[in-house]
Structures are given as structure tokens and as C-alpha cells.
């Protein structure tokens, strides 16, 4: 057992760190995800694309970096500790691997370059009003009519669909057999007539998710990925990828540093809150939980680098990772005391707007409210526990 | 021992409940919250007509002679409707201070305006640096002739944008956190030198930063004895705790009912999700947290009129319970509603947000744990 990084890994760390410091767009340093325009979301993505570093998780032949597992880990750590806006997950993390694993040559040729360059914004058409945790219960129907599918249905919780050019979508092509049979994986141009995107405003006041209504949407049959009715395999493959990387250890470390800074600035009876035993113990507990998660993730990575793919154990990373993220946002809100409650939406701030309370208090409640989603999305934490119970414990 | 409500209290509950049901459904509430004003003066006028604004005041002042139990009943029902109109600051906090400690002249001058619905009051006691310690006061009150001159800044003053009258805590003597030397002053918001920066809060309410710059008030503005303000203020805040505990059990009850109903009807994997034992137990935990909170809410409201030491301990204990339970129930209600619980459109998230603010209001769990331990 050895937890030291090799010298060449430390060299690599120095290289990526200076690249980030020198090239990350200045106006996006410390930017809040809630306030980003489409261009902002893509700015860093495009810089990384030029450098060839936008898709470290992909095989080299499709545009990956060829980094070792350790190098990828270091990259994620450095990106997080700088606080970069990560490249959009829909293309790089979700669809890309599906296409190079299940797509035909033609699909590889037209889908992958657009993902890498950032030219095509993808969104994920999975959940439906009646199909959340039970994804296989989806009803959006696609019927073959000549060389086109005609798609009718209703998708929901579609993240950032308001910016999307294309959607990868699970549709029902057959209602025979088990619900998992008869699902197909379809690529749909969001400009096709019959698609309507309706915003859903969440409790933090943000517009991140949407409903997507599909009415007689005609999709060329060649946009089917893999075989018709065999899309469930692809769906599961994609969800497995979605779970890895969700632990967010490096980003949580950074968030705890920020929490500690806030607790140092906030005073209780004239003394820093950080010096108050009860509060510093809570931060300590969080840090210990995070250390455990970090080593759990490292153990997963170590077995991955020996060729063992991420198993159902990766559900631990999702559950613990999101619980820790939520706890950090909760404590951050707690730290700022009374100034957690003011809420002036960006749009309502006139030219004469004066910040209310200390700068570090701004938006902490919104972040707390927004983060409640993390134990719901990507397979709720209840579903993740079911996976562990069934696949790991054999119950 | 008797935990039952009197006939009058039951009638009071029924009246508030049906008023809220008929006039304050969730859509109406959101229209009010999103309006420029942020509250409804029409609803406030109806509160006056129904006698709600008179509840805790003596009959000779035109009140209904109610006590903390009546306030509890009203607040619980207002909580169910997520009512934003400023009952707590006007009637419970400021009305309570005037009622308990105001001179005859002050009561004469101010209670009728509260009871009639003409005046809205806000209690300006916290400061940017004070966190949850009401003794931590930098705002100064300098004796000047017969009266005082006030200078300072008050932070996150609930309902101040709507208020025309304020009660302000200010230091007449002593150092920043001394428990002696405070005074509570009645200040007209329109007085020279008072300015506010108004803003919405995350729970759909409104608050202000209130700045006092050489605000001159007469000797008759001081409530109670000079220097004794902290005792009056702490007592008022404990009454506020009794009231928000009641409001919070109204929220929790609605969240629990909504969650059970949702889990009975929401189907996944071909069955209602409420048939899963893991979710059943979660809802049982929510139910138990609610019941424990009800118990502590009754306890504190029965003890508000007891001696100071007992009152303080009761208030601290109840606030810890409500803070913890409110957080648990709110978070779990959102979780069990899944994505729907995250939407602005559903009332669940709004109960959750109000419970989140209540956790901080008048001091959070850590603050009251410490206070309880010291009591």
C-alpha cells in the first residue's frame, strides 16, 4: 500500500495547474453556475477542446487524452480546487461514451466532433412525469413511418434544455414483454417542428430544468443508436458513467475551505465562529466524512486502473458524495446567521443595488435549496441504496 | 393536567382555519408574495375585522384577553396557510412588549392602531454583528434634553418594509454586549433620520436593513425603565419563539399530510411508492418529529407566563426541537416528492423554505442548545 504520487505525477500536476491558471477565462473565476450564459458555459470547454484536454475519460482514438487513471484524478482535483466550470456533462460524460461504444461509424463521425468542440449542446431526454426512479416505465412513443420515427411524449427535468441543439432520448418502440424491452435510444434535433421546451423554476429561483413536449416529431431512422428495442442496455451503461465522478471530493474540499473562511469572518459575541467549539466540531466531522470518501474513491480508482470497471460500489460515491455536499451547503448557510435570509434575485437589482450583509453570505440559501436536488437526481439515493442491497449484498 | 382546548379556543381555531382555507389558498398566497407590496392590506383588514389583531390584548383596551395559547392556535393555522402578513412582528412581538410593559399612555396611544389594523410594527433588534445575541447592541441612545437621539444600524428586520412603526433596541449605557443599559424605543418609521433598504427574504417575506441617523425621540418613546431593555426584549423573543414553534408545527403538519398523500398516489414500478417499507419508515420518522414538536410547542406556550428562568429554558428547548424537526421534515418532504419537491410551483418547497428561516429566526439550534445548557 502506498498513497504517494510518483514524481512524474507531480510534474503532471504542476503542468496542468499552470495551464489552468494561465488559460482559465478571468471573468469566470469564482462565477456562480446560476448566472451563466450559454457562452459562459462553453468558454472553458472551447479552450480545453483546442488544447485536446476536453475529454480525458475518452479513449485516445476518439479524442481522449491518453492519461492514466492517476493523471485523470489529478486533473479533476486541480480543476476543482481552482473552481473551473467543468465541461458540460451531457456530451463529454454521457453521450460521447455511448456513441463510441454503441454507435455506427457514421454516428461517430458526426456526433463526436461536435461534442468535443462544444459546437453541439446536448441534453438528456430520460425522465418522464411517470418515469423517474422507475425509468423503464417511460411512455414517450416512437413509431416507424417509412424511414422516420414519429415521436410523441413528454420529458421532464431536462437539464439546460433551453440551450440545447440536440437531445439524446429514450423512447418506447415496443410495448411487448418486460418494460425494459422495447426501449430505444434516439438522437433528436431540438429544432424539429413539434418540440416545445417549457421552463421549470426550482425552489432556489433558478431555471436549470425543463419540460420537453414532443408532438409528432419526425426523426430520421438513422438517428437510432444501437438496435431498436435494445436501448435499455445503453441507458444503464450511461447511468453507470453518470455515477462515477459524482463523489465530487475535490470540489467539496474547496467548499469546506470556503466554509472555514466564512466561519473565521463571522463573529459570535465578538469571537470568530470558527473558534466556537460546537461549530468547529461540525466542520471537523464533515472533513472526516470527506476524507473517508476520498480514500473510498481512491480505492475505486486503484482497482479501475487494474482494469476492473466501476462496479455497483460506485453507488457509495454518489450517496456519500451528495450527502456531504448537502451538509456543506447547510453549514455554510448556518454560518452566516441572519444574513442567510435576504434574497434579491439578480434581475431585480437596479443600478443602485447595494449588497445586503457580508459578501460571503450572498446566495448561500439558494445554494442550499438547490443542492437538495443532488440526492434526487442521477438515480435517487434511495435507488442507489437498492442497487447496493441487490448487487453488492445480494439481498 | 389538561391538554384540551377550551370551547372558545376551538372556535378561534375553526375561524382562522376556515378564513385561511377560503381566502389564502396557495395560489393567492403566491400572488401576494409576488406583488410589489409583498403583503395584502385587504387580508390585514380582514384580520382586524375577525378580531385576530385584538387577541392578546386586554378587554379594556379593546382586546380579547387571550394569552399564549390563543396566539399559538392562531399562529399554527396561519402557518398552515404560509401566511406572510406580519402577525408575528405586529401583534406578538411589538404588541406584546407594549401590552406587558407599555405605560398607560403608550397603550392608549398605540394598541388601538394595532387592533384596528391601521398600524404595522416591526421589532428592530438584531444588528449586522450581533448574530443571535440580543444584548450585542451598538446602536446608541444618547440622552438629549428630555428625550434621546438614536444612531445605528439594524439588520434583517422582518416586516420593516411594511411597517409604519418600529420598536428599536438601543444602548443607553455600557459596553457592546453588556446586559444592562439597553432601552426599547418606539420610533415612527417616517421620523427624520430613519432610512431603510428593503428586500425580499427566501421564505416569501420582506425585511429591511434599518439605519438610524440622529433620530430624535421623546422620553415617552422609551418602553419600560431605562437600561432594562434586554429583559423586556428577551421576554418578547421568547414569546416570538412560542409563536414560530406554533407556525412551524402548522408547516410540518401540512408537509407530512402532503407527503403521505403523494406516496399513496405516486406509482413507480407498478405500485404506490408508499408501499416501500423504507419510505414508510421515513414518513413515520417525520410523523414522530412532528408529534415531538407539537409537545414542545404546547410546553413552551404553557410556560411563557412562568418565571423568567423557567420561561427561558422552555423557549430554548422548544426552539432546538423545532429547528431540528423542521429541518428533518422539510428536507425529507422534498426528498420524498422527488423532482416535484424541488419546484417553485408546488407548496412543499415553500413550507421547507419557511421552516429553514424559522430555524434561524430568534437564534438557531446551536444558540439555543447553549442557552438551554446555561439555564
Residue A310 is predicted with a pLDDT of 64
Q: Do A341 and B132 touch (CB under 8 A)?
A: no
Which residues in chain A are closer than 8 Å to B342, comparing Cβ atoms? 202-203, 372-373, 376
Mean pLDDT of A368-382: 94
Q: Higher pLDDT residue, A233 or B2?
A: A233
Buried/exposed code over B194-223 (b: 16+ C-beta within 10 A; e: otherwise): bebbbbbbbbbbbbbbbbbeebebeeebbb
The CATH code of the domain at A7-87 is 1.10.540.10
Mean pLDDT of B323-342: 98
Q: Do B349 and A203 touch (CB under 8 A)?
A: yes
Question: Residue B141's pLDDT band (boundaries 50, 70, 90)?
Answer: very high
| Model pLDDT for residues B7-37, shown as the tens digit of each residue | 999 999 999 999 999 999 999 999 999 999 9
Q: Which residue in B199, B201, B345 has the most chain A C-beta atoms within 10 A of its own C-beta, making it the best mutation to test that interface?
A: B199
Active site residue A242: yes
Residues near B311 by beta carbon (within 8 Å), at least 6 away in sequence: B235, B238, B303, B304, B305
The yes or no reply on domain A122-230 and CATH 3.40.1360.10 is no
Catalytic residue among A78, A242, A297, A362: A242
3-state secondary structure of B124: strand
Residue A32 is predicted with a pLDDT of 72
A&B contacts, CB < 8 Å: 132
Residues paired with residue B200 on neighbouring β-strands, in sequence order: B206
Q: Do B202 and A365 touch (CB under 8 A)?
A: yes
Chain B: residue whose CA lies nearest to A365:
B202
- Closest Cβ opposite residue B334 in set A157, A200, A372: A372
A172 backbone φψ class: left, alpha, beta (φ>0; ψ -120 to 50): beta
| Model pLDDT for residues A4-59, shown as the tens digit of each residue | 888 999 999 999 999 999 999 999 987 777 678 899 999 999 999 999 999 998 99
Task: Evaluate if residue B167 carries a pLDDT over 90.
Answer: yes
Task: Judge contact between B206 and B162, C-beta under 8 A.
Answer: yes
Mean pLDDT of B70-97: 98
Distance from the Cα of A58 to chain B's closest Cα (Å) equals 31
Residue A242 is predicted with a pLDDT of 61
| Model pLDDT for residues A61-70, shown as the tens digit of each residue | 999 999 988 8
Kindly report the average pLDDT of chain A as a whole number. 92
The yes or no reply on domain A244-392 and CATH 1.20.140.10 is yes
Mean pLDDT of A69-93: 90
Task: Judge contact between A381 and B332, C-beta under 8 A.
Answer: no
- Same-fold call for A122-230 versus A244-392: no
Q: Do A342 and B201 touch (CB under 8 A)?
A: yes
* Domain positions in chain B: 7-118, 122-227, 231-374
- Closest Cβ opposite residue A134 in set B133, B155, B268: B268
| Model pLDDT for residues A96-152, shown as the tens digit of each residue | 999 999 999 999 999 999 999 999 999 999 999 999 989 999 999 999 999 999 999
Q: Do B366 and A278 touch (CB under 8 A)?
A: yes
Task: Judge contact between A321 and A384, C-beta under 8 A.
Answer: no
Which residues in chain B are closer than 8 Å to A200, comparing Cβ atoms? 343, 345
The CB density around residue B4, as the number of other CB atoms within 10 Å, is 7
Question: Residue A344's pLDDT band (boundaries 50, 70, 90)?
Answer: confident
Q: Which is nearest to B167 in space by CA: B104, B105, B99, B118?
A: B99
Q: Which residue in B33, B82, B124, B131 has the most chain A C-beta atoms within 10 A of its own C-beta, making it the best mutation to test that interface?
A: B131
> Could you tell me if B199 lies within 8 Å of chain A, comparing CB atoms?
yes
Distance from the Cα of A191 to chain B's closest Cα (Å) equals 26
Question: Residue B343's pLDDT band (boundaries 50, 70, 90)?
Answer: very high
Task: Evaluate if residue A370 carries a pLDDT over 80.
Answer: yes
Mean pLDDT of A293-298: 90
The yes or no reply on domain B7-118 and CATH 1.10.357.10 is no
Mean pLDDT of B37-65: 96
Length of chain A: 395
CA angle A60, A62, A63 (to 5 degrees): 65
The CATH code of the domain at B122-227 is 2.40.110.10
Mean pLDDT of B193-221: 97
The C-alpha atoms of residue A175 and residue A18 are separated, in whole angstroms, by: 54
3-state secondary structure of A78: helix
> Could you tell me if B349 lies within 8 Å of chain A, comparing CB atoms?
yes
Q: Do B126 and A130 touch (CB under 8 A)?
A: no
Task: Evaluate if residue B240 carries a pLDDT over 70.
Answer: yes
Q: What is the ipTM of this complex?
A: 0.96
Residue A118 is predicted with a pLDDT of 95
Which residues in chain B are closer than 8 Å to A205, comparing Cβ atoms? 344
Which residues in chain B are closer than 8 Å to A385, comparing Cβ atoms? 278
The C-alpha atoms of residue A336 and residue A267 are separated, in whole angstroms, by: 9
Task: Evaluate if residue A261 carries a pLDDT over 90.
Answer: yes
Distance from the Cα of A296 to chain B's closest Cα (Å) equals 25
Mean pLDDT of A215-237: 96
- The x, y and z cell numbers of residue A57, run together, are 475519460
- Any idea which fold B231-374 has? Butyryl-CoA Dehydrogenase, subunit A; domain 3 (1.20.140)
Task: Judge contact between A265 and A360, C-beta under 8 A.
Answer: yes
Q: Higher pLDDT residue, A276 or A52?
A: A52
DSSP string, A130-161: TBSSSGGG---EEEEETTEEEEEEEEE--TTG
* Domain positions in chain A: 7-87, 122-230, 244-392
Task: Evaluate if residue A245 carries a pLDDT over 80.
Answer: no
Distance from the Cα of B70 to chain A's closest Cα (Å) equals 28
Which residues in chain B are closer than 8 Å to A263, comparing Cβ atoms? none
Amino acid at each position: 500500500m502506498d498513497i504517494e504520487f510518483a514524481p512524474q505525477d507531480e510534474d503532471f500536476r504542476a503542468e496542468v495547474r499552470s495551464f489552468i491558471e494561465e488559460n482559465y477565462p478571468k471573468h469566470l473565476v469564482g462565477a456562480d453556475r446560476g448566472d451563466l450564459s450559454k457562452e459562459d458555459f462553453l468558454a472553458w470547454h472551447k479552450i480545453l477542446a483546442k488544447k485536446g484536454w476536453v475529454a480525458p475519460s475518452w479513449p485516445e482514438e476518439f479524442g481522449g487524452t491518453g492519461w492514466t487513471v492517476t493523471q485523470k484524478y489529478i486533473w479533476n482535483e486541480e480543476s476543482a480546487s481552482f473552481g473551473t466550470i467543468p465541461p458540460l456533462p451531457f456530451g463529454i460524460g454521457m453521450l460521447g461514451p455511448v456513441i463510441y461504444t454503441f454507435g455506427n461509424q457514421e454516428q461517430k463521425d458526426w456526433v463526436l466532433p461536435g461534442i468535443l468542440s462544444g459546437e453541439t449542446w446536448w441534453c438528456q431526454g430520460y425522465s418522464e412525469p411517470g418515469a423517474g426512479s422507475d425509468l423503464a416505465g417511460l411512455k414517450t412513443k416512437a413509431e416507424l413511418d417509412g424511414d422516420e420515427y414519429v415521436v410523441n411524449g413528454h420529458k421532464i427535468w431536462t437539464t439546460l434544455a433551453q440551450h440545447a441543439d440536440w437531445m439524446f432520448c429514450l423512447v418506447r418502440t415496443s410495448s411487448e414483454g418486460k418494460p425494459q424491452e422495447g426501449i430505444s435510444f434516439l438522437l433528436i434535433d431540438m429544432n424539429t417542428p413539434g418540440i416545445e421546451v417549457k421552463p421549470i423554476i426550482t425552489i432556489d429561483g433558478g431555471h436549470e430544468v425543463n419540460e420537453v413536449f414532443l408532438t409528432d416529431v419526425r426523426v430520421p431512422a438513422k438517428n437510432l443508436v444501437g438496435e431498436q428495442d435494445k436501448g435499455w442496455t445503453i441507458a444503464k451503461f450511461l447511468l453507470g458513467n453518470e455515477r462515477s465522478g459524482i463523489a465530487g471530493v475535490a470540489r467539496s474540499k474547496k467548499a469546506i475551505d470556503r466554509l472555514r473562511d466564512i466561519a473565521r469572518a463571522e463573529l459570535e459575541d465578538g469571537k470568530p465562529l470558527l473558534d466556537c467549539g460546537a461549530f468547529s466540531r461540525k466542520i471537523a466531522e464533515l472533513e472526516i466524512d470527506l476524507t473517508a470518501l476520498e480514500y473510498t474513491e481512491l480505492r475505486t480508482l486503484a482497482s479501475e486502473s487494474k482494469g476492473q470497471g466501476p462496479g455497483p460500489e460506485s453507488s457509495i460515491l454518489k450517496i456519500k458524495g451528495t450527502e456531504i455536499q448537502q451538509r456543506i451547503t447547510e453549514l455554510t448557510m448556518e454560518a452566516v446567521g441572519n444574513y442567510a435570509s435576504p434574497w434579491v434575485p439578480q434581475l431585480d437589482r437596479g443600478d443602485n443595488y447595494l449588497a445586503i450583509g457580508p459578501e460571503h453570505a450572498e446566495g448561500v440559501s439558494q445554494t442550499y435549496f438547490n443542492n437538495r436536488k443532488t440526492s434526487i437526481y442521477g438515480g435517487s439515493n434511495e435507488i442507489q441504496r437498492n442497487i447496493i442491497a441487490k448487487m453488492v449484498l445480494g439481498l | 393536567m389538561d391538554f384540551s382546548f377550551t370551547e372558545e379556543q376551538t372556535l378561534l381555531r375553526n375561524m382562522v382555519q376556515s378564513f385561511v382555507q377560503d381566502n389564502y389558498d396557495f395560489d393567492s398566497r403566491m400572488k401576494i408574495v409576488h406583488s410589489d407590496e409583498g403583503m395584502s392590506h385587504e387580508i390585514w383588514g380582514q384580520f382586524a375585522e375577525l378580531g385576530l389583531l385584538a387577541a392578546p390584548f386586554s378587554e379594556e383596551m379593546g382586546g380579547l384577553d387571550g394569552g399564549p395559547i390563543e396566539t399559538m392556535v392562531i399562529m399554527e393555522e396561519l402557518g398552515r396557510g404560509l401566511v406572510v402578513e406580519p402577525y408575528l412582528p405586529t401583534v406578538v412581538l411589538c404588541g406584546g412588549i407594549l401590552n406587558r410593559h407599555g405605560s398607560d399612555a403608550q397603550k392608549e396611544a398605540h394598541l388601538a392602531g394595532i387592533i384596528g389594523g391601521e398600524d404595522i410594527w416591526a421589532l428592530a433588534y438584531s444588528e449586522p454583528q450581533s448574530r443571535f445575541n440580543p444584548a450585542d447592541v451598538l446602536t446608541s441612545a444618547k440622552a438629549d434634553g428630555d428625550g434621546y437621539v438614536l444612531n445605528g444600524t439594524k439588520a434583517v428586520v422582518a416586516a420593516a418594509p411594511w411597517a409604519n412603526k418600529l420598536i428599536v433596541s438601543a444602548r443607553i449605557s455600557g459596553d457592546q454586549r453588556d446586559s444592562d443599559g439597553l432601552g426599547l424605543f418606539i420610533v415612527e418609521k417616517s421620523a427624520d433620520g430613519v432610512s431603510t433598504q428593503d428586500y425580499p427574504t427566501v421564505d416569501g417575506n420582506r425585511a429591511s436593513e434599518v439605519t438610524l441617523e440622529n433620530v430624535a425621540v421623546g422620553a415617552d418613546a422609551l418602553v419600560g425603565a431605562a437600561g432594562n431593555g434586554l429583559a423586556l426584549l428577551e421576554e418578547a423573543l421568547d414569546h416570538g419563539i412560542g409563536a414560530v414553534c406554533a407556525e412551524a408545527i402548522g408547516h410540518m403538519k401540512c408537509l407530512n399530510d402532503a407527503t403521505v398523500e403523494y406516496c399513496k398516489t405516486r406509482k413507480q414500478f407498478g405500485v404506490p411508492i408508499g408501499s416501500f417499507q423504507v419510505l414508510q419508515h421515513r414518513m413515520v420518522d417525520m410523523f414522530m418529529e412532528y408529534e415531538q414538536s407539537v409537545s414542545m410547542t404546547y410546553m413552551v406556550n404553557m410556560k411563557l407566563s412562568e418565571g423568567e428562568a423557567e420561561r427561558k429554558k422552555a423557549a430554548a428547548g422548544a426552539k432546538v426541537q423545532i429547528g431540528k424537526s423542521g429541518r428533518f421534515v422539510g428536507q425529507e418532504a422534498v426528498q420524498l416528492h422527488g423532482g416535484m419537491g424541488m419546484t417553485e410551483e408546488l407548496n412543499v418547497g415553500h413550507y421547507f423554505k419557511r421552516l429553514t428561516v424559522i430555524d434561524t429566526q430568534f437564534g438557531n439550534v446551536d444558540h439555543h442548545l447553549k442557552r438551554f445548557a446555561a439555564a
